[in-house]
Structure 1
Amino acid sequence: MIVTITPNPSLDRTYELGTLVPGEVNRASHDRLDPGGKGVNVSRALTAAGHRTSAVLPLGGASGQLLADLLRRQGIDVAAVTIAGDTRINVSIAEDGGALTKINAVGPELSAAESAALLALVRDAQKTGQGTGSDVRWLACCGSLPRGLAPEWYADVVAQAHSGGARIALDTSGPALLAALSARPDVVKPNREELAEAVGRPVRTVGDAVDAARELRELGARQVLASLGADGMLLVAEDSWYGTAPVAAVRSDVGAGDASLAGFLGAGGTGPEALVAALAHGAAAVQLPGSVMPTPAHLDPAAVVVTADLPLDRPLRG
C-alpha cells in the first residue's frame, strides 16, 4: 500500500473556455470539480491504476467534507484530522489554445495541536497498514506546507517513516525541501523551477538539471526524479537516465506531475522502468481535462524513450 500525505489539500474547480478575456464576462464550455492537492492527486492516480492507497490530510468546513466525499466515491481510503479552518478551493481556467491560468488559495492555518495530530495520523496510517498485512511500501509527502507547520515538518515525517520501515517520496519546494534533505528521503521530485530555486542558479540545459539533481543527492536525497516539463524527465541516482514521451496536444497540466509520481511509485520507485511509467502517466494526464487522472487505458509506455546517454547540452525550452 502507498500512503499519501497532503498537508494543504484543496477542492479544484476547472473551467474550460475558448479564450479568457480579462475584465469581461467569460462563459465556460465545460467545468468540473475534483479533489485536489498533490498527495490527493497521487492517491487518485494510484487508485485509477489499481493500487491500494490511503490519503492522510487535514480537512475543515463544508469544502473539507465535500473533498472527503469525492475521494471516497473514487474508492480512496481517507484518514483525516478535523481542523478549525476551511479547506481551500482553487480555480483553474483552461483555454482551448493550451494556456492555463491558476488561482490557488492560501489555505487554512493549522494550530500546534492540529499539526501534532496530523503527524500522529501519519504514524497511525503506517501502523494500520502493517496490522492488516498490507505493508506500507511508500509514504508520499506532497505539496506546500500550510501556515502553522514549520519547514522541518516534512523532515519529521521522513524520519518517522524510515523508523517504521517505509520508503519516503517527497514532492515539495523551497525551505521545506531543503530542510528535509538531511533526513535522506528516498526520492524527491522537483520540477525545473524548483531545482533552480534549491541550488540558487538557473537551469537552462539538461546538463544543468543533472548537476542540480546531483547537488540535491549530495545534500541527502537518495534519488532525484526531476520534471522538465515538455522536455521530459530525469532520474538521477547512482546511475542516471533521461526520458521523453510524445504528447499530441496539452489539454490541462493540472496534476500531471502528481500522476508522474504515482506512476513512478506504482512501478517500484527505482530504475529506468519506473521512469518509463512516470513519463507515460504524465503524458497521459496532460491530455485529459482538469485534473483527471489517467487509467491504464490512457497510457502508452511503448511511446516513451528512456536513455542512459544523457543529452547534457540540450537546451530546455521556456
Structure 2
Amino acid sequence: MILTVTPNPAIDWTVTTDTFAFDAVNVATESTREASGKGINVSVALRRNGVPTRALFPAGGGTGVFMREQLAGMGVDAVVVPSGAEVRTNITLRVPGHAGTKINEPGAPLGEDLAQRLIDAVRVVLSEALAASDGVTTLALCGSLPPGAPEGFHPALVRLGRELGAAVVVDASGEVLSRALAAGPGLVKPNVHELAAETGRELRTVGDVVDAAREVLTRGSGAVLASLGADGMVYVDAGHALHGWARDVRVLNTVGAGDASLAGFLAARDGGAEPAGCLASAILYASSAVGHTTTLFDVDPELRDRITVTDAPDTTRPLSEPAKG
C-alpha cells in the first residue's frame, strides 16, 4: 500500500481559451475543477490503475468537503485532517500553442499544532497499513509546504517512516528537500532544475545528471529518480545508473506529469519490479498523462513499445532543457 502525504493540497482549476489577451475579456471554452496537490495526484493515478493507496492531507471548509467528495467519487481513500481553513486554488490557463500557464496560491498556514496532528495521523495510518501488509508499504511525502510550516516537518516524517519500517519517498524541492535528505529517505524525485539547485551544479548532459544524482546519494538518499522533461528520466542508486525515455509522444498538457511519473514508479515497485522496470513504468505513466488535458488519465499500453531504458547511459547526450544550480 502507498500512503501519500500532501501538506499543501489544492483545487486545480483548469481554464481553456482559444485565444488570450491582457486588458481584455477572454472567453473560456472549457473549465474544470479537480482535487489536487502532488500527493493527491499520485494517489489518483495509482487508484485509476488499480494500485492500493490512501491520500492524507489537511483541509477545511467548503473546499475541504469538495476535496473529500471528489476523491470519494474516484474511489480514492482520503484521510482528511481537519485544518479549519479553506483549501487553496491553483489556476492553469491553457491556450493553443502553449504548454500551460499556472497561477498558484500559497495555501493556508501550517502551524505547529496542525503539523503535529498530521504527523500523528500518519503514524496511525502507516502503522495500520504495515500491520495488514505482507509486502512493501510506502510513505510518499509530496509537494511544497504552506506558510508557517515547521522546518522539522519533513525530517520528522522521514524518521517516522523509517522507524516503522516503511519505504520513504520525498518529492519536494529547495530547503524542504535539503532538510529531508539529512533524515535519510529511501528515494527522492527532483526534476532537473531542482536537482541542479540542490547540488549547485550546471546540468547540460545526461552524464551531468547522473553525477549530480550520485552526489545526492552522499547526502542521505538511498536513490534518486530525476525527471528531465522531453529527455526522459534518470534513476540512480548504489548499484544502478539508468536512463529512460519515450519517443513519438503526443503532448497536450505537461501539468502533473511529474506526479504521474512517481505514481508509475511506485506502482511498479509495489508489484515487485526491478529498477529498470520501475523506470519504464514511470515513463509510461508520464507519457500517458501528457496526452490528456487534465491530470486525470489512464495508462496507454500502446506507449510501452516507444519506451527505452538503458543501464549504459550516453553520458555525453545533451539535455534539451539544461539547468543551472
TM-score tier, shorter chain, comes to over 0.9
Structure 1 residue ranges, 4+ long, deviating more than 6 angstroms after superposition: none
CA 150–112 in structure 1, closer or farther in 2 if over 3 Å, else same: closer
The AA in structure 1 aligned to 2:260 is A
CA 288–84 in structure 1, closer or farther in 2 if over 3 Å, else same: same
CA 59–311 in structure 1, closer or farther in 2 if over 3 Å, else same: same
Deviation at 1:260, TM superposition (A): 0.5
Matched, 1:304 2:316: no
Deviation at 1:297, TM superposition (A): 4.2
Deviations 1:252-301 (A, max 9, x none): 11111101001100101751000000000001101101212x32346622
CA 10–251 in structure 1, closer or farther in 2 if over 3 Å, else same: same
SS of residue in 2 equivalent to 1:43 = helix
> Does the 8 Å contact 1:93/1:101 carry over to 2?
yes
5 Å-filtered alignment, 1:53-132, equals 53-132=53-132
Which range moves more in the overlay, 216-225 or 94-103?
Answer: 94-103
Deviation at 1:22, TM superposition (A): 2.1
The AA in structure 1 aligned to 2:312 is D
> Does the 8 Å contact 2:205/2:318 carry over to 1?
yes
Deviation at 1:171, TM superposition (A): 0.2
> Does the 8 Å contact 1:98/1:250 carry over to 2?
no
CA 298–17 in structure 1, closer or farther in 2 if over 3 Å, else same: farther
SS of residue in 2 equivalent to 1:23 = coil
Q: Distance in 1 between matches of 2:177 and 2:292?
A: 29
Q: Distance in 1 between matches of 2:14 and 2:287?
A: 19
Q: Distance in 2 between matches of 1:217 and 1:133?
A: 28
Structure 2 residues not aligned, in runs of 5+: none
Deviation at 1:132, TM superposition (A): 4.2
5 Å-filtered alignment, 1:151-162, equals 151-162=151-162
Matched, 1:251 2:257: no
Q: Distance in 1 between matches of 2:134 and 2:12?
A: 31
The AA in structure 1 aligned to 2:266 is L
Deviation at 1:18, TM superposition (A): 2.5
Q: CA RMSD in A?
A: 1.6
Structure-2 residue corresponding to 1:284:
288
SS of residue in 2 equivalent to 1:291 = coil
Structure-2 residue corresponding to 1:141:
141
CA 92–116 in structure 1, closer or farther in 2 if over 3 Å, else same: same
The AA in structure 2 aligned to 1:194 is E
Matched, 1:49 2:49: yes
Which range moves more in the overlay, 38-47 or 204-213?
Answer: 204-213
Equivalenced residues, count: 317
CA 136–122 in structure 1, closer or farther in 2 if over 3 Å, else same: farther
The AA in structure 2 aligned to 1:148 is G
Query: How high is the sequence identity, in percent, across the aligned residues?
Result: 38
Q: Distance in 1 between matches of 2:301 and 2:160?
A: 36
TM-score by length of 1: 0.95
Deviation at 1:213, TM superposition (A): 0.7
> Does the 8 Å contact 2:129/2:137 carry over to 1?
no
Counting strand residues as a fraction of each chain, which structure ranks higher? Answer: 2
CA 272–2 in structure 1, closer or farther in 2 if over 3 Å, else same: same
CA 64–298 in structure 1, closer or farther in 2 if over 3 Å, else same: farther
The AA in structure 2 aligned to 1:45 is A
Deviation at 1:186, TM superposition (A): 1.0
Structure-2 residue corresponding to 1:5:
5
Deviation at 1:200, TM superposition (A): 1.4
Deviations 1:5-53 (A, max 9, x none): 0000000010122332222222222221111100000000000110111
